[in-house]
Amino acid sequence: MSLILILEQILNGLQFGVMLFLMAAGLTLVFGVMGLINLAHGALYMVGAFAAAIVAAWTGSFVLALVASLAAAAAAGALVELLVIRKLYDRDHLDQVLATFALILIFSEGTRWVFGSFPLFLDVPSYLSGPISLPGGIEYPLYRLTIIAIGLVVAAGLFWLIARTRIGIQIRAGESDREMIAALGVDISKLYTLVFALGAALAGLAGALVGAIQSVQVGMGEPVLILAFVVIVIGGIGSIKGAMVGALLVGLTDTLGGVFLPQLFGLFMEPASATSVGASLASMLIYILMAAILLVRPSGLYGGQH
């Protein structure tokens, strides 16, 4: 296998990881600040992708489509928070799991009802399609590179938001002590709605960006949701930094494992069975990674005591 192939796959893994980060960041924030486990986060990813596909079909503008994905997911997130989620903050995890599972059913079947089971299409705009030459002779799709860039910019913005702004201070205060932020005179319920909508917007953006390379369809958020959970377990609940590290680890492990494990097995097995054994093992690789980290650090790489 060539060096170029390896570099290409590393970029793919990076792109995947950055998208996972956008998903995981919202989940981990919502858990850290409100103590809520939200299974319906994948539905917001789907909402973002559908909004983008519709607006792109209408206006033909990819930028507007991305804006729409942010807006629609944020709005859906805020609405869900106001109607359902805020009743769950004081409930136990079981209630949170069930209620947000119910939300998934409502979102998924509702979307299927309106848009049908066939996927919508969201095209990569012409100015972003096609490969671009990178130093070292790598030809890499420009769009994927753009995704990586957008993801990194958003991540940087998020770190800045949390470390430097008033809202960030309130969020961090909320993670350590609810009463303290009440004492600071912050309107907690507004802060919670805001954090939830922010997490939703990030998920929606990820949905739109990925929707352009995969397809936009009902249920698209669920596999990503579960990977985001793995990311959070690895990184540690409530930690944005952990989410970043976990997302990149999972993204790279999954991508590189999927490509190289079958080749690795090919070194000492016959090709057919190497492919199937390698593929089976690759599909489990990130979970094995998670289990290994769990053995050493039960509360994740950057996790506190939750």
Partner 1 sequence: MNREKLLNTAVILLLLAIPLWAHMAEEPFLITLATKVAILALAGVGLNIALGIGGLVSLGHAAFFGIGGYAMGILAAHAQNYEPLAEWPMLIEGTNQMPVIWLVAVVASALAALVIGALSLRTSGVYFIMITLAFGQMLYYFAISWTAYGGEDGLSIWVRNEFPGLNTLVPLEFFLICYVILCAALWFAARLARAPFGLALSAARQCEARVETVGITPYQLRLTAFVISGAITGLAGALFADLNRFVSPTMLSWHTSGEIMIFVIIGGVGRLFGPVIGAALFILLEHLLGGISDYWQIYLGGLLLIIVLYARGGVIGAISGREVAHD
- Contact between residue 219 and residue 108 where contact means Cβ atoms under 8 Å apart: yes
Listed in sequence order, the DSSP H helices in the chain are 3-34, 41-59, 62-83, 93-115, 142-164, 166-176, 178-183, 188-211, 221-235, 240-266, 271-296
Q: Residue 147 or residue 231: which is nearer to partner 1 going by CB?
A: 231
Torsion sign (Cα): 294, 297, 299, 303: negative
Q: Examine residue 298 and tell whether it contacts partner 1 (CB under 8 A).
A: yes
Torsion sign (Cα): 285, 287, 290, 292: negative
Q: Does residue 132 sit in helix, strand or coil? A: strand
Q: Examine residue 131 and tell whether it contacts partner 1 (CB under 8 A).
A: no
Q: Examine residue 190 and tell whether it contacts partner 1 (CB under 8 A).
A: no
- Answer for which of 3, 6, 57, 93 binds partner 1 (CB under 8 A) is 93
In angstroms, the CA 88 to CA 37 distance is 10
Of 251, 221, 199, which is closest to residue 24 (Cα–Cα)? 199
**Min dist. Cβ of residue 17 to partner 1 (A):** 17
Q: Examine residue 233 and tell whether it contacts partner 1 (CB under 8 A).
A: yes
Torsion sign (Cα): 282, 286, 288, 292: positive
Q: Which stretch binds partner 1 (CB under 8 A): 9-17, 57-65, 151-159, 229-237?
A: 229-237
- Residues in 146-165 that interact with partner 1 by CB under 8 A: none
Tokens (6 digits) for 226: 């579960």
In angstroms, the CA 113 to CA 252 distance is 36
Q: Which stretch binds partner 1 (CB under 8 A): 142-150, 183-191, 241-249, 288-296?
A: 288-296
In angstroms, the CA 50 to CA 291 distance is 34
Torsion sign (Cα): 64, 69, 75, 78: negative
- Answer for which of 79, 82, 112, 124 binds partner 1 (CB under 8 A) is 112
**Min dist. Cβ of residue 109 to partner 1 (A):** 4
Q: Examine residue 189 and tell whether it contacts partner 1 (CB under 8 A).
A: no
Burial of 24 (C-beta count, 10 Å sphere; 0-12/13-18/19+): buried
Q: Residue 23 or residue 68: which is nearer to partner 1 going by CB?
A: 23
- Answer for which of 5, 57, 105, 163 binds partner 1 (CB under 8 A) is 105
Q: Examine residue 295 and tell whether it contacts partner 1 (CB under 8 A).
A: yes
**Min dist. Cβ of residue 103 to partner 1 (A):** 7
- Answer for which of 5, 58, 60, 101 binds partner 1 (CB under 8 A) is 101
- Answer for which of 46, 56, 220, 237 binds partner 1 (CB under 8 A) is 237
Q: Examine residue 103 and tell whether it contacts partner 1 (CB under 8 A).
A: yes
Q: Examine residue 47 and tell whether it contacts partner 1 (CB under 8 A).
A: no
- Name the residues that contact partner 1, by CB under 8 A: 31, 37, 84, 87, 93-95, 97-99, 101-106, 108-110, 112-113, 222, 226, 229-230, 232-233, 237, 276, 279-280, 282-284, 287, 290-291, 294-295, 298-300, 306
